[in-house]
Structure 1
Amino acid sequence: MAAVYKSMSKHKSSKSQDDGGSKPTAAQRQRILMLTSRGVTARNRHLLADLNALLPHSRKDAKLDTKTQLQQLNELADLYNCNNVMFFEARKAKDLYVWLAKPPNGPTVKMHCQNMHTMEELNFTGNCLKGSRPVLSFDAAFDKQAHLRVIKEVLTHTFGVPPTSRKIKPFVDHVMGFTLADGKIWIRCYQISETEAVKAKPDQENEEPAAPAPKAAKGETNISLVEIGPRFVLTPIVILEGSFGGPVIYENKEFVSPNQIRSDLRRVKAGRYNERAEGTLERKVKRRDLGLNTGEGRREVDELDERVLFA
């Protein structure tokens, strides 16, 4: 009966809005599917669990077996009635790539995740209510370029909890900050902490009365931010027009893959070893030509040698 009464009350409220001439606002239904690929590390799994706990409109699924046919995620999203996908792709058990997509039409943003720290590692004192809605705070630099505006919209749909979600609590007690610096997106999460304003007490040692302080209004509180975690950094790589496919509408030319960086470091170390090996071989050949090595024969005596001239 409670469900029937609730549906009837919604129907009546929508009718009253139509009679008043105001257009009813469409329900914002956002649901996110979160899953990982095979080969993720324990830290990656803990990061996904922390994000799943912070986002009450998310649904966590099992690991995906393939890393090449990512179009299967569109079918999974349709199966679970989700219109957002967050996919963690692990490479060589070292690199983590985050895919944020809007199935079935896109767009899709691929980013490299680094400097990640989970809630258990940070041990912050902050603590927010599970199921509460966050306040999304974006840097002003997101509105300066076209691709940053697209990324901001995708992040808003992914991390913004709609008020129509079933599992949310009617509270807003934490803030998620997205800061753009050095071409990377720095994500931090803070709890909104409220404390009562403390009235100033007069100094008892000095009999002189203290300076009059401004009176605090009744019920006035001091608001501060306490970090609760997790924290991580995202580097945009490409933006695809479709959902896990389609033409590339943006590509970060300055991004260098971590695999290429490791390959360059190994090549530099190999070059140093080759130089040392070549130097050692040159010294051996020179000593042999000079006859300084024992057991390799004597060098030929020249006719103008001092031992021949002054014998």
Structure 2
Amino acid sequence: MGKKRKHSETQTAEPKKKDEAAPERPKRSLFGWKDKEEVQQQTESNTDPPQVFRNKEKVMVTCSRRINYRYRHLMLNMVSLLPHCKKDNKVESRSSKGATLNELIELRGCSSALFFECRKHQDLYLWMARCPNGPSVKFLVNAVHTMEELKLTGNHLKGSRPLLTFSSNFEKDAHWKLLKEMIIQFSDTFFSIIFFQIFGTPKEHRKSKPYHDHVFVFSIADDHIWFRNYQISVPHNESDKMVRGGLDKMTLVEVGPRFCLNPIKIFAGSFGGPTLYENPFYVSPNQIRALEKRQKAGKYAKKVKAKTRRKMHELSNPLEPDEFADMWRE
């Protein structure tokens, strides 16, 4: 038998690598050849860090049990207008609703809440609260008109970010300033660090559109906050293209809903706590209905008094006997 060859002899020698590498071929674009330095500079400029959505503010919208159908439709209209909100099941309207709502808000990962509370199937109260530390505001909602009732011609895109406009009266008193900051984003009027975002949709939210095509208008009249929603209508014809900054051709068309908020109290906590502000001009609906009943009861009392006065007048002033009363009797 022949001898086996050594393992080292079977391995072939690898070719030595050349020190000088071949020059890289420049990349070609639609406009010609590019140098390596230009390509590197472009790649460095294009490698920006991706934009990350950091504003995680969410609003939970819910209502109480036995709510009226009209107020429920108003709540659903607000849900459609706020893309950063979450809708939850109905909550029992009791004294312990604050703890229940705070727990639900924490489970849903929200930071603020809009709670529509209906009493006696006819009175609607709106709680606007920052959870779980507060503050919170309680409103009485009047003059409610839903989108279905109004049948207006405005129609904006669902999920677009609204522009928030406020009348100059919001800078008049401290409590109006606080309410304005609760509606927008940030406030340090009464508290050190408080972040509110209820009606203002966060920028770059995954459910919102990156442009504005409607306006939320908050105006103060007779110590009430009036809410309106308008669509920004811009002409789209080629002959009527609007120049940037030309607001003369831009019009506002009301979409709805519309309602009026009467502030009752501002609390330091969430759905309760120390009272920061109390409206001295607030009259509860129960007192208004009681006054109306008294006025109706007063009408009947006036009729009874008029009858007694007539009888007393007849007794005090008797009529003279008529000489022709027995003329036809035989």
Match among 51, 61, 67 for residue 40 of structure 1: 67
Q: Size of the alignment, in residue pairs?
A: 259
- Cα displacement string for residues 238-283 of structure 1 (whole angstroms, at most 9, x for unaligned residues): 0001101111000001011121111011112212322323443566
Over aligned residue pairs, what C-alpha RMSD do you find? Answer: 3.0
Structure 2 residue ranges without an equivalent (≥5): 1-46, 185-196, 320-330
Name 1:53's counterpart in structure 2: 80
Q: Please, what TM-score do these two structures have when normalized by structure 1? A: 0.75
Q: Please, what TM-score do these two structures have when normalized by structure 2? A: 0.71
**Preserved CA contact (<8 Å) 1:197 1:220:** no
Q: In structure 1, how many angstroms separate the alpha carbons of the residues matched to 2:316 and 2:54?
A: 89
**Preserved CA contact (<8 Å) 1:37 1:67:** no
Q: In structure 2, how many angstroms separate the alpha carbons of the residues matched to 1:146 and 1:244?
A: 20
SS of the residue aligned with 1:112?
strand
- Cα displacement string for residues 111-133 of structure 1 (whole angstroms, at most 9, x for unaligned residues): 11111111111111111111111
Structure 1 residue ranges without an equivalent (≥5): 1-10, 15-23, 201-214, 293-311
Q: In structure 2, how many angstroms separate the alpha carbons of the residues matched to 1:52 and 1:216?
A: 32
Matched, 1:101 2:137: no
- Point out the structure with max Rg over C-alpha: 2
In the TM superposition, residue 39 of structure 1 has moved relative to its aligned partner by 2.2
SS of the residue aligned with 1:79?
helix
Name 1:171's counterpart in structure 2: 211
Q: In structure 2, how many angstroms separate the alpha carbons of the residues matched to 1:70 and 1:216?
A: 51
Amino acid at match of 1:154: M
**Preserved CA contact (<8 Å) 2:235 2:242:** no
SS of the residue aligned with 1:128?
coil
Taking every aligned residue pair, what percent have the same amino acid on both sides? Answer: 44
Name 2:49's counterpart in structure 1: 13
In the TM superposition, residue 199 of structure 1 has moved relative to its aligned partner by 5.6
**Preserved CA contact (<8 Å) 2:128 2:136:** yes
Amino acid at match of 2:260: V
Q: In structure 2, how many angstroms separate the alpha carbons of the residues matched to 1:258 and 1:219?
A: 47
Match among 229, 233, 249 for residue 256 of structure 2: 229
**Preserved CA contact (<8 Å) 1:196 1:220:** no
Name 1:64's counterpart in structure 2: 91
Name 1:306's counterpart in structure 2: none
- 5 Å-filtered alignment, 1:225-304, equals 225-281=252-308
Name 1:181's counterpart in structure 2: 221
Q: In structure 2, how many angstroms separate the alpha carbons of the residues matched to 1:40 and 1:224?
A: 36
Q: Which moved more, 1:282-291 or 1:112-121?
A: 282-291
**Preserved CA contact (<8 Å) 1:196 1:219:** no
Q: In structure 1, how many angstroms separate the alpha carbons of the residues matched to 2:126 and 2:119?
A: 11
Q: In structure 2, how many angstroms separate the alpha carbons of the residues matched to 1:181 and 1:269?
A: 30
Going from structure 1 to structure 2, the CA distance change for 1:13 and 1:179 (only over 3 Å counts) comes to: same
For CA contacts below 8 A with separation 6 or more, give which structure has more relative contact order: 1
